[in-house]
Structure 1
């Protein structure tokens, strides 16, 4: 590949004698890797070489046509480059109890789904993206991952300052100059410039200033980029240390992994370089906010929200009840509070009901908990989030196990033909045990309820499909 001359000059200064090996690596093929969803699938045989720093990550020998694998659409796994899976290693080392976690720049959802899978059970993950089209892609991927302990928002970083000391952990995979994506994305090369690096660094400082208020004392900030220069990496860590008083923390690694240290003295950070590690470019640092662990700020926010709710409820008849038939679709309905919002039935984990109200008060929510169904006249139409949720009781949901051609027709939102012995009404369509979504079986035909915006748009099915040896839990 032809790299910009200023990039070559700058990076050669940084890497010295290693530059030629680095440049040669950029001309090689990108590794292919995926990460299993432990809430949905487990391997029945060896998938491939394990990503050494990830509990659920695997390298594949070649890149199959993931788009045409129904298991991919069911959220059985996430296609993610291996370096980014290092987040799970950080979480495993430092987070031992349930937390409130913010992924600030989360689209398309790789690090959010890793956080959901890696955090202690019962943690709440808020995934945010400010750009509208990217935010809806994020919401789709979070819904498919299936965790009821997830919320998706579409907000500026400054909006989170209202939530003073609310989050225990904030991950900031900040917008950057994208040098680490040169091997995978030729557009990143065309868009790169030294001025762009400076603009990104200014924006990153602003994002960090805006969101710092929302991190509780003693909380963790995970800072990452997919770029190589020091302006957006080590210098940003020094900014967090010198301006905001953050303390860098070390992450346990194995020397055989080839993870490089920071390029500036006084900085603790981790660099994934394509000539040293089997993955794309990544920079990551973990920093702790000064102060003892203190939840009083968050408790004040939650108490204030509860007080406003109690005041608003006086004299009102309350929201409509969620019908029992929809509560009973969940395997453990007692773990949830149920509510109706704009003719939509929602299930929110009981321990986070006050958090849901607080976040809905201050942020723009695209998804929260489990969307069970939406009202249409006197009927309720089951929502795809219910089909894809790990909390769904599969024993109480009539379903049809589709073969590959039928599953792909369903995912293309085409008409499908069901056997005549199936009950009428709403049915799950599943593939290898993984629910994909709903149809309404009318007997002589079935209405395909797969979301129009999620559909596979290609009618062509390639030969290199992935035969993933996993089973549904």
Structure 2
């Protein structure tokens, strides 16, 4: 991989002779790492090495055929770069009670799914992505992870910033020049330039300004990038401290993690270099907003029935679909029924009024005439009561057929109706069993589209 000349010159000036080690590391193969979804039930021990700063992270000895691994589609694990799992240490250090957390630049969902596993019981995560196409991918990955304490939105940071003092924690993995991903995405080297570095640094400051009002006084902002330069990293942290009055907070680390500190100024920041740590380039800082007068946004009850519209009656059987139905409130959106835990209902009205919501809580299903069709979100939710449905365990070949939205044959002794299909005990989705045939209810937009089948398929094995 040929590195841009300006990048070499600038980074060598930053690191001195150590740049030679970085340059050599960037010519090696990038490690592959995943996080286990412990809230869906622990997978058996994997043939991998633990990521030191993440309780559920593992390096894999080789890359899996993720497209052809049903456990990946079931949300049993998420493929995430190991360095970025370091947000776990910041959350564990500074978030001890239930919070309202915003993941501002969340697509495709690595940090959001991680936050859903880390935040204390009763917390809410609002995940945002400004680009519509990417927000749909984010919503899909959040649904697969299965935690109902979540809302997905598609808004500009400035629009969210109007929600005064709403969030206790804001995660901002700001769009950056991507230097830290050169090894994983070699095409990114051709897009890199000094002008783009300066553009990204300026844009990041604007994003922080736009969102700052939505953070409560005393609240925590986690700032991260996947880049090495000081313009997007230390300079912006210094700017936030000086201009917005934030306090930079330290995060406990271990010497053996080989994390690099500040290369400019003297604030506690955490930088990952691939020649020191097993992972890609990553930078993180934790900032606390100064205490001040709390002016929380007033939330009005907007859940009144619309005039002239009758709310559908929830079928009695539907109330058995969740493992603890009494913990959820219902919300009809046309004929689609969503169930929302208390964490969601607390701020759902104001978000629905002000922002563009893609999902909130868990969609249970759709009412069509007298028939209630259970949804894919329900199948993958950690709130699912699997005993409410007959279930059939699929082998690998059958699971791939299901994920391609092809016809799956069920045993003759299965009763007619909606059947939950599973793989290695993990729910994959629903089929409607009609006796002599089945209808595959897997979402069309989620299906495996490729007709290509690799000669060697490697899946999560234990």
TM bracket, shorter-chain basis: over 0.9
Change (3 A) 1:351 1:282: closer
User: Contact between 1:105 and 1:128, CA under 8 Å: does it hold in 2?
Assistant: yes
User: Contact between 1:163 and 1:301, CA under 8 Å: does it hold in 2?
Assistant: no
Question: Which residue in the other structure is 1:217 paired with?
Answer: 217
Question: Which residue in the other structure is 1:415 paired with?
Answer: 407
**How many Å apart are 1:320 and its aligned residue?**
2.9
Per the alignment, in what secondary structure is the counterpart of residue 35 of structure 1? strand
Query: Take 2:461 and 2:157, find their aligned partners in 1: how far apart are those partners?
Result: 38
Question: Which residue in the other structure is 2:288 paired with?
Answer: 288
Structure 1 runs not aligned, ≥5 long: none
Q: In angstroms, what is the RMSD of aligned CA positions? A: 1.5
**How many Å apart are 1:396 and its aligned residue?**
1.4
**How many Å apart are 1:191 and its aligned residue?**
0.6
Normalising to structure 2: TM-score of the pair? 0.97
Quick one: which of 338, 354, 364 aligns to 1:372? 364
Question: Which residue in the other structure is 2:437 paired with?
Answer: 445
Query: Take 1:198 and 1:434, find their aligned partners in 2: how far apart are those partners?
Result: 46
Query: Take 1:434 and 1:46, find their aligned partners in 2: how far apart are those partners?
Result: 16
Structure 2 runs not aligned, ≥5 long: none
Question: Which residue in the other structure is 2:389 paired with?
Answer: 397
Question: Which residue in the other structure is 1:326 paired with?
Answer: 318
Matched, 1:19 2:19: yes
User: Contact between 1:147 and 1:390, CA under 8 Å: does it hold in 2?
Assistant: yes
**How many Å apart are 1:64 and its aligned residue?**
1.5
User: Contact between 1:270 and 1:284, CA under 8 Å: does it hold in 2?
Assistant: yes
Q: How does 1:259-274 map to 2 (within 5 A)?
A: 259-274=259-274
Matched, 1:4 2:4: yes
Question: Which residue in the other structure is 2:79 paired with?
Answer: 79
Question: Which residue in the other structure is 2:295 paired with?
Answer: 297
User: Contact between 2:126 and 2:153, CA under 8 Å: does it hold in 1?
Assistant: yes
Change (3 A) 1:162 1:316: farther
Per the alignment, in what secondary structure is the counterpart of residue 252 of structure 1? coil
Matched, 1:383 2:381: no
Question: Which residue in the other structure is 2:461 paired with?
Answer: 468
Q: How does 1:41-120 map to 2 (within 5 A)?
A: 41-120=41-120
User: Contact between 2:218 and 2:291, CA under 8 Å: does it hold in 1?
Assistant: yes
Matched, 1:122 2:115: no
What are the superposed Cα offsets for residues 88-133 of structure 1, whole Å, 9 maximum, x if unpaired? 1111111110100000000000000110001111110011001111
Matched, 1:346 2:338: yes
Query: Where do 4+ consecutive residues of structure 1 move more than 6 Å?
Result: 314-318
Per the alignment, in what secondary structure is the counterpart of residue 227 of structure 1? coil
Q: Which moved more, 1:201-210 or 1:452-461?
A: 452-461
Query: Take 1:151 and 1:218, find their aligned partners in 2: how far apart are those partners?
Result: 23
User: Contact between 2:402 and 2:442, CA under 8 Å: does it hold in 1?
Assistant: yes
Per the alignment, in what secondary structure is the counterpart of residue 39 of structure 1? helix
Normalising to structure 1: TM-score of the pair? 0.95
**How many Å apart are 1:46 and its aligned residue?**
4.7
User: Contact between 1:319 and 1:339, CA under 8 Å: does it hold in 2?
Assistant: no
What are the superposed Cα offsets for residues 395-421 of structure 1, whole Å, 9 maximum, x if unpaired? 112111000000000001111111111
Matched, 1:426 2:423: no
Q: How does 1:99-178 map to 2 (within 5 A)?
A: 99-178=99-178
Query: Take 1:47 and 1:117, find their aligned partners in 2: how far apart are those partners?
Result: 22
User: Contact between 2:344 and 2:360, CA under 8 Å: does it hold in 1?
Assistant: no
**How many Å apart are 1:190 and its aligned residue?**
1.0
Query: Take 2:369 and 2:176, find their aligned partners in 1: how far apart are those partners?
Result: 47
Change (3 A) 1:122 1:377: same
Query: Take 1:99 and 1:319, find their aligned partners in 2: how far apart are those partners?
Result: 32
Per the alignment, in what secondary structure is the counterpart of residue 297 of structure 1? coil
What are the superposed Cα offsets for residues 158-199 of structure 1, whole Å, 9 maximum, x if unpaired? 111221000000000000000001001012111111111111
Question: Which residue in the other structure is 2:194 paired with?
Answer: 194
Change (3 A) 1:53 1:422: same
What are the superposed Cα offsets for residues 50-107 of structure 1, whole Å, 9 maximum, x if unpaired? 1000010011111111111100000000000100100111111111101000000000
User: Contact between 1:370 and 1:389, CA under 8 Å: does it hold in 2?
Assistant: yes
Task: Give the aligned length.
Answer: 461
Change (3 A) 1:315 1:151: closer
